[in-house]
Chains A and B, each alone.
Chain A
């Protein structure tokens, strides 16, 4: 029987990094997508590494559709999960992060990773990814802050099983830390303890092994992770820990002090479904009726209502952005650079894909129809299904 790395070819997906299927989708990059498919816009250069010459808009249209997408902050890499639970990747050449790049083809095409069909969640840190597969937590990328959470800080250039001793439901990777939610609603963290981001009661050193946060939260339905902060949602209420530089945690306070451990921010706000850490200085939450709550600093088109007023006071943090309307069913996160200063986002509102922020990426996705970065809808006859943004790429998908 034919073998690769000692594994029968019939079971080839057990060979790390082996890609069984590939294909760009065959849609011309010169025509806008109509209906099902995915568009990826790669920015012409990495913001802080302009000497690297990337091929703008390379193969940004494909017929592949995804239900979850996660774009790397630093890498020119995006991973996607399809409705059948398969995992796919699209990347272009990225020579700067030598030694920490995932082992994937860098040709701007979508490639399937293995053949397993039980991938359910994916999230990206600055130079790493986390994913949930069959209830287990997998890790890929630079692990310098112990984001993998199994005691090692070795870089993983292939997806590596990090932990399967609990059943994991959601992963959220921040700048240098990781937040995981179990299927029973508990929260575990690992990574750099900077500013209490990991909610372990200390700002010193690293949490090297996934450890339950120190307030032993239960019934958590959502977790988020940002630059050096984390959130959890319980009963529609936000719990916050970490750096509160905005201030953006949502407390009825203008204090910018770090928050030591997951703390309920406002008993008056009980309608939150999901949180999205936009930058070091702001936080977005989607409510049960599809409104957007916002707290923090609002420069650089970070508010989906295209208003640049801050919401920093003791009374307006996490107030609803009435101008953004209702009907937001999904918000796929935002991106910032390592200093926390670049903003952009992707979301679905009333069955329409909405993008805003990073100008070059939005120009790419709209064939230069939108040049100012303002939040706008992307016209397509398909059903919006997923999106994501990194510092230098933006990706959206329709089914």
Chain B
């Protein structure tokens, strides 16, 4: 079973909303904010907050992804992946 965890983090005028981040345990995925700009973020007392979701793996997940020469199959253990560094 897989679920999503939702996080809310403070962002700033210079935050790059197009940037993504990765998780070494899941080499075929990347994560990003749910919002595309500061204007889309929640504002509380002059502070801005963006949200993002992680991948919560509650039973091991096996995936096969392509490489430059073939495919690689990995099993992703139980855990939460995609937490922003």
Chain A residues within 8 Å of B, Cβ to Cβ: 144, 146, 149-150, 153, 163, 165-166, 188, 193, 200-212, 214, 216
Contact = CB atoms under 8 A, between A and B. Distances in A.
Given A165-B70, A188-B66, A206 B29 contact: yes
A199 to B, nearest CB: 11
Contact of B64 (A150, A206, A207, A211): A211
A165 B68 contact: yes
25 contacts: A165-B68, A166-B66, A193-B29, A200-B63, A201-B55, A201-B61, A202-B55, A203-B4, A204-B31, A204-B52, A205-B20, A205-B30, A205-B55, A206-B20, A206-B29, A206-B31, A208-B28, A208-B29, A209-B28, A209-B65, A211-B66, A212-B63, A212-B65, A214-B63, A216-B64
Given A153-B20, A212-B63, A205 B71 contact: no
A206 B53 contact: no
A149 B70 CA distance: 14
Contact of B69 (A165, A188, A204): A165
Interface in B9-68: 18, 20, 22, 27-32, 52-55, 61, 63-68
Nearest to B26: A205
B66 A203 contact: no
Contact of B29 (A153, A165, A205, A212): A205
B66 A207 contact: no
A206 B30 contact: yes
A97 to B, nearest CB: 15
B4 A165 contact: no
A163 B55 CA distance: 26
Q: Is the interface of B mostly helix, strand, loop or mixed?
A: strand
Nearest to B23: A205
A214 B82 CA distance: 18
A150 to B, nearest CB: 8
Contact of B66 (A146, A165, A201, A205): A165
Contact of B82 (A144, A200, A204): A204
Contact of B32 (A203, A206, A207, A214): A206
Contacts of B63: 200, 211-212, 214
Contact of A202 (B4, B32, B66): B4
B69 to A, nearest CB: 5
Given A200-B29, A204-B4, A212-B65, 18 more contacts: A146-B30, A149-B66, A165-B68, A166-B66, A188-B66, A200-B63, A202-B55, A203-B4, A204-B55, A205-B30, A205-B31, A206-B29, A208-B22, A208-B28, A211-B28, A211-B64, A212-B63, A216-B64
A204 B53 CA distance: 5
Nearest to B32: A205
A193 B52 CA distance: 13
Nearest to A206: B30
A332 to B, nearest CB: 28
B42 to A, nearest CB: 19
B66 A163 contact: yes
Contacts of B55: 201-202, 204-205
